[in-house]
Amino acid sequence: MGHTLKHSLLYLACVSALYVSHESQAQDTSEEKEVEVVQVLGIRSSLTGALDNKRSADSVVDSISAEDLGKFPDQNIAESLQRISGVFIDRQSGEGSKITVRGFGPEFNTVRLNNRTIATIETGEVDYFFSDVNLSRAFDFQALAAEVLSGADVVKSPTSDMWEGSLGASVNMRTARPLDSIGFHMSGSAQARYQDLGEEWGPRLSGLVSNTFAEDSMGLLFAVSYEDRKTRLEEHRGGAWSYYNGPTVDSDEVVEFRFPQEMGQSFTIDDRKRLSINSTFQYEPSADMGMTVDALYVDFKRTTTTQGINAPMQFPFFSNVETDENGTATSFVKTFGPVDYRYEEGGGDSETVALGWNGFLYLDNGVSFNADVSWSRATARNDATRIQAAIKDNNPWNDPLEPGSIDDPRAGETSPDFETNIITWENSDVPSWSTSLDLADPANARAHVALTPSIELEDEVFESKFDVGFELDSGAIRGFQTGAFYSDRKKAALPFNSGIYRPSSAEGPFDPGYNSAGTLFSDSNFVAPFDPTDGIQAPWEAINVPNGPRPNMGGRFFSLPSDIFTPISVPGLLSDSGASFPTSFLLTDKDGYCEAVRQGSGNNDVCSSQARPDLARDVQETTYGAYVRLDLDGEFNGFPWTANLGLRYVETDTSASGPSVELIRIDPVDADGATSGLDYVTTERQIVEKKNSYSNLLPSLNAKVSLSDNVDLRGAVAKVITRPNLGDITPNQSFSGLYGLSTRRSNNTDLQPYEAWQYDASLEYYADNGNAFSISLFYKDIETFISESTELVPSGFSHPAFGEVIFRDTTDRNRDGGSIQGYELAGLMYFDFLPGFLSNAGIQANYTFVTGQDDEALASPQNLPLATAPGNGLEGFTPHSYNVVAFYEDDDFSARVSWNWRDQFLVKRAGLAGIAEHFDAYGQLDIGFGYALSENTKITLDVSNLFDENTIRFADVRERVILNEYTGRRFLLGVRSTF
């Protein structure tokens, strides 16, 4: 870091010296400073500004602009970006969170603020077992308020002076600048946010003040926004679709089908509070020199609480099974299955701080200098809780609803008073099902799961860049630019997890996993609750002795106090689905549940949390290099043309650390190999550090020919990269398996980046009245890809009965990639040719078609029973998508109606249960209205998801629903003033 600061300070010193040497000359000139005043007001001005950016850009770019100072077209910046052709969004709690561009997901798109990387952390994301600590590159748009932005550019073909790292697109969000609007300006809005599903109101406030001083050579802008919103989500969860092949309870005939591994309905309250503060200082004593200082602070808090019911379906006791042509169980009756009460908490607190300095200097001889230095840091503590009380059917090994007494003989008999749980299920997007148990009776609830992990995350980024430009007039050469850059990014994760008792130690240790059967008390399951000497149940006092055996909580032996549950009836839960399922159940008090389990088990670590430095992960990525760019223009057969040709060289060094073990040997459980068991003797788990280094040479060419005053033809070619996910290069290795075939799972610390050649062409028409139409073609040839694969490799060890032990070696590997191609159609038309008020209307629309193939993926066919292989399609690629925006605007009234639609697409080639996962087609209608009460004040109403659409994720075929989520409609009613 010291050498980074040294370089940055050197840059600052050089530019500052140039300021001093040139300032007197700038102050002596009698030439008045020319200031371009950009007044962005209303829908039409916003569209015009976006088109101006697109047409004047050096490469293939699409833009969005603010309608007014501090007023963006949508409630969320990601939802504004989706209006751009080729841009799709991922939603969280119904609102845009991440973007996909031309089929490339969030990890493949760089997102910057004022052309600087901003540290980002996903608030509320916790992996319960820390098997996939998320050290993602993806930018979460929910952490940034749209009110602080003036616009955003989506660059689809890069130039050599741009930061590298994107196979999809480079998104640059721009904040407002005080010298863009000379004088004093102030705007503010107050809105009330309402969600119909949760019937909750919340405030959304924003304000912006800007002023210029010292004869308009200095400017200061300050913006603040605050939002407190609470939303309700309702969902059906189906989980993995498991495979069954065998007899059923009512028949000896073998039946083959797939069924959902779980089934449940729940509602979630998502409470978010976000405070954003942004300030900018500008100083430009002349048009030839200036500097800008930016500061950003974001405090984002999120809390989610989920309550509902869930029926695990993994126990194979089926009857009355009916299947469809795909082998999907469409209905069945199930016995010997539990029903769980679902209580989950999530969320966390995050803070983001970003600082940036930029300076420029233009000399009279055509030489220019530009320097930029930035730093940002994001920190978060994400917490999660999973509490599951449960009801289980009567089984021959225990009597969970009748603990009995010391005088009761057990002998495997069941209580005649206990009613067997029977689940009757019918398949649909939200299945109908029923149970014979009273889910609203606290007396039926038993202790089951208590899991409370947390994780602390930090992301810190330092960047510096120094550019030198030369204006030239030598034939077709108009300019030459070169520069150097340096970036240092560090992401770290420190997990915390639940306390778990191990018989070998009275105090612990802490270890990942459930506080439930098979993990928390696995070594004492065969002891409690019976006295093995006489088959009589031991008194609870004898069981709960220090360092002694613990009762089996997973078997639901604990009766729980009734006052920790609240019976509730939710008849409106998923009411639009038309399904019939239990809507009366118990809400769980977390603290009461945890205390009851602590007392009942004698384990005081239940629901506690302890830092796990032995599971910590850390990645530092340093990039540095240089670039050259040549700007050209001329005329060919009467057609003006411009072009830029460049070359970028970048070195990447990574240092990653994480928890791992090394294999010493593999031993059979029995010396003579009588069983299939294997013991994996490994070193103690320790933090291991691995380094990697690679370099890339990235050429680029962008050209534009003006076929007329209104028609431009563009073409571009470039080599692009995306670096591996930071979490995937942290050391991690584990071993498991039986017989002579074992599994080794590990991360790959030597991954090389994704690499692709991309080609773009577009024909653009710009009418004098502002109408615009374009068609764009694109093709990406992915030379190097990254995907998880399994290879069979010798382990070097043998089993006495099964011979050589072979590893199924599963890890991420570099391989040949596929290709994608597609086209985009976009149009903007004003209806100014119509009479009267109709001339104030217009329409904007775009359509994107993307297709891709990954032939390498076919080399490892899944061959899973009753599962259709996903073919050679690439993950995340949506074949068809379109946006249509109709608008109207006059002096007093404005209206906007927006429809966004995205086709079904492949999410994972191998998801839950190893079969492909898909996201169903989704469309959403948003509307917005504004009415001017005066020249400075307007009332507004915005409605998102007017048709109350739901999202569906499914496995393999459409009827196998994994998750069906309803987010409801969202309303924003407010008043806005600008002065």
Per-residue confidence band for 122, with pLDDT thresholds at 50, 70 and 90: confident
N- to C-terminal Cα separation, the chain? 45
Collect contacts of 97-100 with beta carbons under 8 A, ≥24 apart.
Answer: 97/140, 97/141, 97/142, 98/138, 98/139, 98/140, 98/141, 99/141, 99/171, 100/168, 100/876, 100/878
Alpha-carbon distances of 876 from 101, 298, 962, rounded to whole Å: 10, 30, 17
Q: Which of 1-15, 208-222, 252-266, 481-495 has the lowest mean pLDDT?
A: 1-15
Instruction: Report the run of H or E that residue 424 belongs to, with start and end.
Output: strand 422-426
Contact predicate 361/15, CB 8 Å = yes
CA distance 159 to 408: 81
Specify the pLDDT at position 475: 87
Range 387-393 average pLDDT: 77
pLDDT higher than threshold 90 for residue 309: yes
pLDDT higher than threshold 80 for residue 472: yes
> What does pTM read for this prediction?
0.85
Does residue 554 sit in helix, strand or coil? helix
Type of residue numbered 378: A
CA distance 437 to 401: 12
Q: Which residue did the predictor score with more confidence, 517 or 550?
A: 550
Per-residue confidence band for 806, with pLDDT thresholds at 50, 70 and 90: confident
pLDDT higher than threshold 80 for residue 520: no
CA distance 602 to 550: 7
Specify the pLDDT at position 79: 82
Q: Which of 327-331, 489-493, 809-813, 962-966 has the lowest mean pLDDT?
A: 809-813
Q: Which of 42, 43, 48, 41 is nearest to 63 (CA)?
A: 48
Contact predicate 818/855, CB 8 Å = yes
User: DSSP secondary structure string, 125-176?
Assistant: ---TTSSS--------GGGS-GGGEEEEEEESS--TTS----SS-EEEEEE-
* pLDDT tens digits, 23-73: 333 333 333 333 333 343 588 888 888 899 899 999 999 998 887 766 776
CA distance 807 to 794: 6
Q: Which residue did the predictor score with more confidence, 395 or 697?
A: 697
CA quadruple 18, 21, 27, 29: dihedral positive or negative?
Answer: negative
Instruction: Report the run of H or E that residue 896 belongs to, with start and end.
Output: strand 893-902
**Other Cβ atoms closer than 10 A to 852:** 23
Does residue 557 sit in helix, strand or coil? coil
CA 652 to chain centre: 25
CA distance 155 to 758: 13
Specify the pLDDT at position 203: 94
Q: Which of 929, 943, 933 is nearest to 977 (CA)?
A: 933
* pLDDT tens digits, 660-692: 888 888 888 777 766 667 788 888 888 999 999
Range 729-742 average pLDDT: 77
CA distance 173 to 151: 6
Contact predicate 95/81, CB 8 Å = no
DSSP for residue 11: H
* pLDDT tens digits, 612-660: 888 899 999 999 999 999 999 999 888 999 999 999 999 999 999 998 8
Around 345, how many Cα atoms within 13 Å sit in the side-chain half-sphere?
18
pLDDT higher than threshold 60 for residue 599: yes
Q: Which residue did the predictor score with more confidence, 393 or 728?
A: 728
Contact predicate 496/611, CB 8 Å = yes
Per-residue confidence band for 12, with pLDDT thresholds at 50, 70 and 90: very low
* pLDDT tens digits, 411-459: 334 444 445 677 888 888 999 998 888 899 988 888 877 888 888 999 9
Q: Which of 254, 262, 257, 255 is nearest to 243 (CA)?
A: 257
**Residue listed under structure tokens 């070193």:** 683
pLDDT higher than threshold 80 for residue 706: yes
Q: Tokens in use for 469?
A: 């430009």
Range 295-309 average pLDDT: 93
Per-residue confidence band for 540, with pLDDT thresholds at 50, 70 and 90: very low
Mean pLDDT, the chain, as a whole number?
82
CA 492 to chain centre: 18
DSSP for residue 183: S
CA 145 to chain centre: 17
**Residue listed under structure tokens 């020249």:** 935
Torsion (CA) 901, 903, 904, 906 in degrees, nearest 10:
-110
* pLDDT tens digits, 907-922: 887 788 888 899 999 9
CA distance 817 to 821: 14
pLDDT higher than threshold 60 for residue 2: no
SS (H, E, C) 90-132: EEECCEEEEEEECCECHHHCEEEECCEECCCCCCCCCCCCCCC
pLDDT higher than threshold 80 for residue 886: yes
Q: Which residue did the predictor score with more confidence, 186 or 497?
A: 186
Does residue 638 sit in helix, strand or coil? coil
pLDDT higher than threshold 70 for residue 525: no
Residue partners of 688: CB distance under 8 A and separation at least 6: 657, 658, 659, 660, 731
Per-residue confidence band for 860, with pLDDT thresholds at 50, 70 and 90: low
